[in-house]
Structure 1
Amino acid sequence: MDRWEYQTLKYKTGGWLGGKVDEQEFQNELNRFGYEGWELVSCFDTSVSQGASRDVIVVFKRKLQVG
């Protein structure tokens, strides 16, 4: 039976009212987790109003190495 561990990343988009995602910085963060063996499972924003997002929540998983 496979066993998994999970990791959550909260990526800040800006100030209190939200902001824009720096695409290159966000991609660098995703790649960093990928290089460590994490697989992206889900990604969603925390909307505040009128299309603005305060945070982007990213969920990763990777198989536990049972030894």
Structure 2
Amino acid sequence: MTRWEYKTIKLAATGFLGGVLDTASFENVLNGLGRDGWELVSAFDTNQSGGVTRDVVAVFKRPVAER
């Protein structure tokens, strides 16, 4: 049976009222974690008033090395 480990990251949105995600930075984080064997499982945003994105949360998994 495969055992998994998980990692959660949170990236803040910027902008005067929020809602702006630096996609180049986000891609760099995703690519770096992918090179380390992490697979993106889910990504979602959290909102502040007016529905503007405050943070983007991404959840990753990778198999645990057998001992």
TM-score of the aligned structures, taking structure 2 as reference length? 0.89
The residue that corresponds to 1:12 in the other structure is: 12
- The RMSD of aligned alpha carbons is 1.6
For structure 2, the residue ranges without an aligned partner over 5 or more in a row are none
- Indicate the residue corresponding to 2:52 in structure 1: 52
Q: Which structure shows the bigger proportion of residues in strand conformation?
A: 1
Code of the aligned partner of 1:26 = F
1:36 is displaced (CA, Å) by 0.4
Offset, 1:49? 2.6
How far apart are 1:16 and its partner, in Å? 8.6
Structure 1 runs not aligned, ≥5 long: none
Count of aligned pairs between the two proteins:
67
Q: Distance in 2 between matches of 1:55 and 1:2?
A: 31
What's the offset of the Cα at 1:66? Answer: 1.0
Q: Which one has the bigger helix percentage?
A: 2
